[in-house]
Amino acid sequence: MSSAPHFALDRQEETVTNLPSPYLLFLGDTTEAGYAKTAFGLRDWAPDRCVGEYVMPGGSVSTGLPQLDFAQAVDKGARGLVIGVANAGGVIPDEWVNALVKALDAGLDIIAGMHMKLNADPRLAEAARRSGRKLIDVRTPPPAIPVASGRRRSGRRLLTVGTDCALGKKYTALAIARGLRTRGVDAQFRATGQTGIMIAGTGIPLDAVVADFIAGAAELLSPDAHPDHLDVIEGQGSLFHPAYAGVTLGLLHGSQPDMFIVCDAPHRATILGSPGFRLPTIEAVIEQTISLGRTTNPDIRCVGVSLNTSGMPEDEADALCVALERRVALPVADPMRVNPRFDRLLDACQ
């Protein structure tokens, strides 16, 4: 791999790891919890960097953290306001701008992982200039990403794939990487989305990469490694999503996973944001992933299923896992419930 892509990735990592924290999590007027995955991800995986949340009138989603105004957050040590919502299209609604300007005036830098850049709004750009605060966009890929070569790389790779978006691919990858490291396995989480990048401090936002270079970005993200090293790669979207399947396919081809885990929310019936499309079955996802993944790794295989059973009683969650294990003959677990089922899923990843 050439030196230019390595240099580009180093520059991007340097920007991300210097994010101003602690954070106040901005939830805006969001009413759909599935769109607030950035806020929930930081709450669950970087709690030491979160002081509270800010919810606008009309918003009904909460992380459960203390609700603070901007002055209170600054008094508690907050340095950055993180836009914790990834809405459809990644835009900053006009309704948010007045609140964001007040946050800048109160002394908070603004960190966003939206497709729309913060400086693109002249009101935010002027408020940042006036207050001397920073506008930081995390969803910015490094320059000089190469076109994918398809060359097989040393080391091992595991990819999380989903029946839909926003249902646990990131949480599963983080939990698997952490669980394997506690066993002494040389495993590293590889972030491919804005929230994962904020948590890990490095990564490439795959959905912000020009389509021709998505697979190349995935190759860059997971380079040659020691034969025993395992990269646990955060999945994006779904091969069955009418809008985002292109990103998912590019990531699958470029990451060349030896193993994959299917992630599912068992009580979700339709694709998030696309109610006319029903979720595929686990079996359909396994079949499609193997068929398409063989383009760059003929030995790709499914090693288990991750279920998002949040909000379910323990016995109901366990019954779902038991039934699905019988159906697909693979380990099934909710990685956020540390129990023997999760241990068996970790066994399958080694």
Tell me the pLDDT of the chain averaged across its residues.
93
The residue that leads in pLDDT, 273 or 327, is 327
Mean pLDDT confidence for 192-220: 95
Residue 99 confidence (pLDDT): 97
Residue pair 118/108 in contact (Cβ under 8 Å)? The answer is: no
Q: Which two tokens stand for residue 172?
A: 């599963």
Residue pair 61/40 in contact (Cβ under 8 Å)? The answer is: no
Residue 3 confidence (pLDDT): 31
Mean pLDDT confidence for 14-38: 84
Q: Is the pLDDT of residue 42 over 90?
A: yes
User: What single-letter amino acid sits at 23?
Assistant: Y
Mean pLDDT confidence for 160-164: 98
Q: 299 φ, ψ to 5°?
A: -100, 10
Q: Is the pLDDT of residue 12 over 50?
A: no
Residue pair 52/65 in contact (Cβ under 8 Å)? The answer is: yes
Cα(111)–Cα(82) distance, integer angstroms: 5
Q: Is the pLDDT of residue 243 over 90?
A: yes
Percent with pLDDT over 90 in the chain: 89
Cα(148)–Cα(220) distance, integer angstroms: 9
**For residue 201, is it left (φ>0), alpha (ψ between -120 and 50) or beta?**
left
Beta partners for residue 111, in sequence order? 82, 136
What Å distances lie between residue 145 and 141, 195, 204, 339, 342, CA to CA? 8, 21, 10, 41, 36
Cα(165)–Cα(305) distance, integer angstroms: 15
User: Residue 273 — very low, low, confident or very high, per pLDDT cuts 50/70/90?
Assistant: confident
Q: For 13-27, 64-78, 285-299, which range has the lowest pLDDT when averaged over its residues? A: 13-27
User: Residue 349 — very low, low, confident or very high, per pLDDT cuts 50/70/90?
Assistant: very high
CATH architecture of 156-349: 3-Layer(aba) Sandwich (3.40)
Mean pLDDT confidence for 200-221: 95
User: What single-letter amino acid sits at 78?
Assistant: A
Q: Is the pLDDT of residue 13 over 80?
A: no
Residue 16 confidence (pLDDT): 52
Return the H-helix or E-strand segment holding 316: helix 314-328
What stretch(es) of the chain map to CATH 3.40.50.300? Answer: 156-349
Q: Is the pLDDT of residue 309 over 60?
A: yes
Q: Which CATH superfamily is domain 20-137 in?
A: NAD(P)-binding Rossmann-like Domain (3.40.50.720)
Mean pLDDT confidence for 114-121: 93
Residue 222 confidence (pLDDT): 97
Q: Which two tokens stand for residue 297?
A: 């790794």
Q: Is the pLDDT of residue 190 over 50?
A: yes
Q: Is the pLDDT of residue 87 over 80?
A: no
Mean pLDDT confidence for 52-70: 97
Cα(236)–Cα(166) distance, integer angstroms: 9
What stretch(es) of the chain map to CATH 3.40.50.720? Answer: 20-137
Residue 201 confidence (pLDDT): 85
Q: Is the pLDDT of residue 5 over 60?
A: no
Residues 6+ apart with CB under 8 A from 274: 241, 242, 243
Residue pair 227/277 in contact (Cβ under 8 Å)? The answer is: no
